[in-house]
Amino acid sequence: MRGLRHHRREMLDTKQSDAAPPQDEPRGCLFALSQPPLMIFLAVIGCLLLMAALHDLLLL
């Protein structure tokens, strides 16, 4: 039982790690939209929707 107490004390140690992001930099929706992979995905989806709309309007 003595070893378990030692581990329990280690588990209760809640120091803030160095990997945590800084709290003074808020990130929201505009930060997410500024990511290149998301913008490429949205551009491809937009082009597909545009081509489908033009196909419906002009060719059907």
Q: pLDDT tens for residues 46-57? A: 999 999 999 999
Task: Check residue 3 and give its pLDDT.
Answer: 54
Average pLDDT over residues 43-48: 97
pLDDT at residue 30 tops 70: yes
What are the tokens at 42? Answer: 């949205």
Burial class of residue 49, CB neighbours in 10 A (0-12, 13-18, 19+): exposed
Task: Check residue 55 and give its pLDDT.
Answer: 95
2 close to 8: Cβ distance less than 8 angstroms: no
57 close to 49: Cβ distance less than 8 angstroms: no
